[in-house]
Amino acid sequence: MHANSANNRMTEGPIASQLVRFALPLFIGNLFQQLYNTADALIVGNLIGSEALAAVSATGTLVFLLVSFFGGIAAGAGVVIARYFGAREPGKVQSAIHTVLAFDLTTGLILTLLGTTLTPWLLRLMGTPADVMARSVLYIRIFFAGSLGLVLYNSCRGIMQALGDSAHPLYYLIFSSMTNVVLDVLFIAVFHMDVDGAALATILSQFLSVILCLRRLMRGDEETRVRLRKIGYDWEMIKLIVRYGLPSGLQNSVIALANVVVQANINAFGTMAVAGNGAYAKIEGFAFLPITAFTIALTTFVGQNLGAREFERAKKGARFGVGSAIVLAELIGVLIYLGAPWLIRAFTPEPEAIAYGVMKARTCALFYCLLAASHGLSSVLRGAGKAVIPMISMLSFWCVVRVTILHFAVPVYQSIAVVNWVYPITWALSTVFLFVYYVRADWLHSFEREKT
């Protein structure tokens, strides 16, 4: 935060330039994060081999499953902080910040316990190929040993963003990303470690980010400064955080369970299918960059402006942010569609794995506009405190419909194309549902109705 936190308020000034200024550091930060995630896969795939890449790829949905619930709760904290910051209630801002830090210290320890004990059983349940099982277990156990760093970094970053500061999280992410790549090369190429080297590099760089973020937060102004002795639970604030965050947490977890079902279907087609889809997943991450940037910006913008009773401003910002995310995601989708063979080949030399990755890219890439619309509308509604509506949409379409299609269609057609097509189909259904709600419901005045 700046010495003057009012500089970070999004309740006045030109809407488009303000959203872009806030989203741009998020975009660049996400780009660096995706680059170092991609560097992990490139280093593992090329220096260790396709089986090692498959071992790391097979753990992705499981990581999301265990992290996403607590991440959704933390997102609720961001809405609460943005709301009180916009309403200029510093006492409640302080209470929310210190409560969410206490919550994340607890959940980080829980994640460490769950992640290191349950994952071998869950990987077997997912049908992880036997030839990559040992490596997958090794990777994920080391990853979850550093859960506290992951949770605390996301929390500190979310606090800064809720207060309108997207620049400093960018600086810290760039530094930790570069550190991660250097450690990857050091551990794998120099020390000849296996996938454990990639996992260790990730958690060490994550803890470095936490140290930098906490240092910044502890030097902020009076309204937003973190003081270690004040970290603790305010139960009234916990109720609000859970109220806004629990729907997102449940939504994320159930979607993650559905993705476990999807991954199990991919696993059934063999190690090369896992490697090819894992390579595509890294590339698809680039399509999420504008989506993530504008969704975080929109949640903060809408939360602050509704807290300040700037209703028309919130609506105009929502339209601009969702539209921008759609356009940018689609442009990236076109580039990925055209360049898929070369992009997948960068991760693995295996022709069969490349073919699987290109098939997935050519199925999904041109529909990224739907993915952006669905996430964008969801972020607007979460910023307005209406987190239950996105939860209903995602659970209905991204979970129930997705799993139903796989259950009935894969045995009939016995083709991985069915697995690939469930994504654009369910993106489209959720987008239609959310758009109808956005147009017809009075989401703008939800905070006002709470006070009456």
Closest Cα to residue 447, out of 375, 376, 378, 386?
Answer: 386
Residues 6 or more apart in contact with residue 300 via CB below 8 angstroms: 10, 22, 78, 82, 161, 162, 164, 383
For residue 277, the SS3 value is helix
Tally the residues of the chain: 452
Long-range contacts of 438-443 (CB under 8 A, 24+ apart): 438/318, 438/377, 438/380, 438/381, 441/386, 441/389, 443/380, 443/381, 443/384, 443/386, 443/389
Span 234-263, mean pLDDT? Answer: 80
Span 428-450, mean pLDDT? Answer: 86
Return the structure tokens found at 376: 């964008």
Closest Cα to residue 237, out of 386, 96, 78, 448?
Answer: 96
Span 376-381, mean pLDDT? Answer: 92
CA distance 162 to 220: 14
Q: What percent of the chain has pLDDT over 70?
A: 91
CA distance 288 to 296: 12
CB-CB neighbours of 124 under 10 Å: 12
Return the structure tokens found at 345: 């080949």
Closest Cα to residue 89, out of 229, 240, 210, 312?
Answer: 240
**Reported pTM:** 0.72
pLDDT, tens digit, for every residue of 187-224? Answer: 988 888 888 888 898 889 889 989 999 999 998 777 78
CA quadruple 168, 169, 172, 178: dihedral, nearest 10: -130
Residues 268, 130 contacting (CB under 8 angstroms): no
Domain positions in the chain: 16-442
Q: What is the 3-state secondary structure (H, E, C) of 279-333?
A: HHHHHHHHHHHHHHHHHHHHHHHHHHHHHCCCHHHHHHHHHHHHHHHHHHHHHHH
CA distance 121 to 439: 44
CB-CB neighbours of 312 under 10 Å: 9
| CA-based end-to-end distance of the chain | 33
Q: What is the 3-state secondary structure (H, E, C) of 104-148?
A: HHHHHHHHHHHHHHHHHHHHHHCCCCHHHHHHHHHHHHHHHHCHH
Closest Cα to residue 162, out of 254, 66, 245?
Answer: 245
Residues 94, 230 contacting (CB under 8 angstroms): yes
pLDDT, tens digit, for every residue of 166-194? Answer: 888 888 888 888 888 889 889 988 888 88
Kindly tell me if the per-residue pLDDT of 3 is higher than 70. Answer: no
Residue 450 confidence (pLDDT): 58
**Bigger pLDDT: 226 or 126?**
226
Residues 252, 87 contacting (CB under 8 angstroms): no
Kindly tell me if the per-residue pLDDT of 452 is higher than 60. Answer: no
Provide the pLDDT confidence category of residue 4 given band limits of 50, 70 and 90: very low
Kindly tell me if the per-residue pLDDT of 319 is higher than 60. Answer: yes
